[in-house]
Structures are given as structure tokens and as C-alpha cells.
Chain A
Amino acid sequence: MSDAAIITTNNVNLWYNEKQALQSVSIKIPKNRVTSLIGPSGCGKSTLLRCFNRLNDLIDNVKITGEIKLDDENIHAPATDVVTLRKKVGMVFQKPNPFPKTIYENVAYGPRVHGIKDKVQLDKIVEESLRHAAIWDEVKERLNDSALGLSGGQQQRLCIARTLAVEPEVILMDEPCSALDPIATAKIENLIERLKEDYTVIIVTHNMQQAARVSDYTGFMYLGKLIECGKTGQIFEHPKEELTENYITGRFG
């Protein structure tokens, strides 16, 4: 990969109790690019994604070895502040999960937690985040309405706005469109394309066409291993590994 890396993993192994979910995964995630992780269910792609903001810490009996660096800092080092890490590495989940609060409060919540109290500054952050997430025009007249009244696609973009509000460097997306209809999916995909100007996006998706459409780089995982990672055009046109070829042509998985 020729682009500069923002996240680098080196020989990462992960066990849930006795079960090994990641095996010697070494990958470089290029900065300001979209990288997608594909592979059959249970291949470890979501587990790998959750390593990048230490979300696996929340699960009992998880053991991780190897090195994961964000901006050359080991994110598993004892000195790493997990709250700061998760500010730098935001996450959007499969099912939109807005807080049961107003649209405004959903976006303002993160900056408030990180100490911003000034109303004018919060207003600015909320508007900019909603604009960045391509939902401002749809919600600007009803910022004080409940976020739960939005459609699924709007809720997902609100969740992206909520992530952007704390100015992350990396945005992790775990199947962000799988609960959305094709129109809402197209809006999220257009948004991902714009987001890479300012952020690094890593997306886990079952949908290979989506990976092909939105990402610059694609990694294929199988049984906990990273089988192949390269430019998306190369992976989908002529992958180097037969396993990748067989998976993306639907011969298994």
C-alpha cells in the first residue's frame, strides 16, 4: 500500500476464552482512505474492527497479543486513555442507536462529555456535524424533536454526526447500511465518500458490492486470518489468493 498508514497492526491474536478469533493479523490502514473488511460470518472482521477502539475490552475473558498502533502509539499500552482513544476512533453500528433524546442533544452529548459547555460553541459543533453527515437540511427545523422520530437512514446519519462531533481521526463502521433501504444506503455511501477527505474510514460489510463501491482498499478475512489486503480494484478484479477469488465469486461463504 502506497498511502501513509494511520493504524498499523502487527501479529495481532485475539482469544474469546479458548476460542481464537484473530490469528496473526498484520494490516496497515491508510490515512484519509476508506478501507473495507470483508469475509464470511465469524471470520473476525468485526472483532478486528473492535480492536481499533478497544471495544473488545468490554467483553469478559478476552486476551489480545500483538501490537496495534494508532499514529505510532500502541493503543494497548498501559498509559493509553481509553476515553481519549474512543474520541479519536469513533464508531457507527449496524443498527442506528440514537440516544432517546433530542436530535440536538444526541450530537451535543459527546462534546459536552469532553468538557465543552459554551452554548454558541456547541451550536456550531452540532450544525457542522449535522452538515458533515449530510442530514442538516432534513433536521434543521426540528433540532429539539426526539431523534427516535427520524427514519432509519436519518437515524444512522445522526449517529454519524454524533461520531463526528468529537472530531475523531478514524471512523469505524460495522455494517452501517444493513438495516437500511437502498435509498438510505446510497446516502450513507455518498457520505462515506465525502468523509474520507477529513477522516479515515474503516467499514465492515457483508455486501461485497458495497465494499467495491465505497472503499479504496479491501481486506479479506477468513477464519480469523487476514488472507489478502490490497487496492479495491485489484481485489475485485484479480485477487492474488485463490481463497479470496473463491469467496468474492460466491464459491463459498
Chain B
Amino acid sequence: MAEKFHTELEKLKADTLEMAHLGRFMLRTAVDALIRQDAELAASVVAQKEEIHRMEVRLEEHCYHLIALNQPMARDMRFIACTLKVITASLRLGRYGKVIANIVKEISDKPHIANLMSIPHMADLVIDMVDDAVASYGSDNLRLIDDFSSRDDTVDALRHSIFREGITYMMEDPKNISRCTHYIMVARYLERCADHACKIAENVQYMETGERVEIH
């Protein structure tokens, strides 16, 4: 019976990785659509909203089912606890992708101000964090996430910098207010995505070692 259970856990892991990759893909594609001002690409992200929601429900049910039928303990329990968090974080990544995609539709009529400021660079850093967090979940490799605290600090600093820069452009010309407000919001969403990557990292750490850590 334990063998069947562990096979089920492997399948749960593979399915969760698939969901995490979809969440990451939605976020990456939305940022690309923003950079290229491609409303069609943005619409394709919005269209994936239903799919990621379906995955969330199905995978959570799978977790509850495995808990109810197998009363997992120790590493198995920690794996399922971590998986539930990865599922939630993946949904959030996808949803922030969708929200950014919606912004693309509103601001693709005119050129970007200051080449989107630091948003493309910030997005690269955040998506790298997401990739490493998800890879650490998939491969049990904690080295991928050991510098998350400093990487998260860099992302926070970039958000602050984009906020300051956005305010400057708004003060220069009120016509920039709407566009810069969207930029500031995108920076805020990206910062939240980095926080979700940190949450995944914290839970992978717990899954692997049983120790609770907090990444600031």
C-alpha cells in the first residue's frame, strides 16, 4: 500500500510542477506582452485563467484525498503540506500574469515611458526566483534557494525605485499619471510574485529539513 501511495505522491509532484510551470508561463508571457505592447499575446494569457483554476481545484482535491486515505507522516506529510502551498503560489503567479495582461490592453496604444523603467529587469529577476523555487521543489535541491533573502531584497529595492521614478514622471506631466500608475502596480505585482517564490522556498526548506525558516 505504501508503494501505491508513494507512486501517487510522485504523480502529485509531476502535476504540481505542471501547474507551477503554467503559472510561471502566464506571468512571463504577460510581461513579454507588456514589453512588446502585444494585446493579442496578452489576451492569450487571460484565456488561460480557467485552466489554472481547474488545476488548482483538481490538485487540492488530490492532496485532501491522499491525506484522508493515507494519514501521511513525516516527509510525506511535509511534502503534501508544501505541495498545497506550491499550488496556491502557482495560482497567484498565474493570476498576477492575468492582471498584468489586462493592463497591457489598456496601455498598448502609446509608446512606453522610459522603456518601462526597470520593469523588464525586475521581471527577469522575479521569474528567475520563481524558476529556482519551483526547481527546488521538483529536485529537492536547497542550494537553488539559499540566496533568496538577498534576491528578494533586490526585488524590493527595484519596486521602490520604480515607484520613485514613476512619481517623477507623473510630476513632470499629468498625462503620464495613468500609465505610470500602471507601471507602479505592475512593479507591485512582480514584488508579490517574488514573495510567492519565497513562500515556495520556505516550504521546500520545511519539506526537506522539517525546519521552519522565514525569508524576509
Interface of A with B (CB < 8 Å)?
A: 208-209, 212, 236-239, 244-245, 248-251
Contacts and interface: CB of A to CB of B under 8 A. Distances in A.
A238 B71 contact: no
Interface in B74-118: 74-78
Given A209-B71, A249-B72, A237 B5 contact: no
A238 B77 CA distance: 9
Q: Is the interface of B mostly helix, strand, loop or mixed?
A: helix
Contacts, number: 36
B68 interface: no
Contact of B2 (A237, A238, A239, A249): A249
A213 to B, nearest CB: 10
What size tier do the contact residues of chain B reach?
10 to 19
Contacts of B72: 249
Nearest to B72: A249
Q: Is the interface of A mostly helix, strand, loop or mixed?
A: helix
Given A248-B74, A249-B73, A238 B5 contact: no
13 contacts: A236-B73, A236-B77, A237-B73, A237-B210, A238-B74, A238-B211, A249-B72, A249-B75, A250-B5, A250-B6, A250-B76, A251-B2, A251-B6
A144 B78 CA distance: 53
A246 B116 CA distance: 52
Contacts of B209: 238
B73 A208 contact: yes
B42 to A, nearest CB: 44
A81 B94 CA distance: 72
Nearest to B208: A238
B1 interface: yes
Interface in B1-24: 1-2, 5-6
A111 B90 CA distance: 65
* Most chain B CB within a 10 A radius of its CB, from A236, A237, A244, A249: A249
Contacts of A212: 73
Contacts of B71: 209
A239 B210 CA distance: 8
Contacts of A244: 74
A111 to B, nearest CB: 41
Contacts of A251: 2, 6
A237 B211 CA distance: 10
A238 B76 contact: no
Contacts of B1: 250
**Nearest 5 CB-CB pairs, A to B?**
A238-B210, A250-B2, A249-B76, A248-B73, A236-B73
Contacts of B77: 236-237
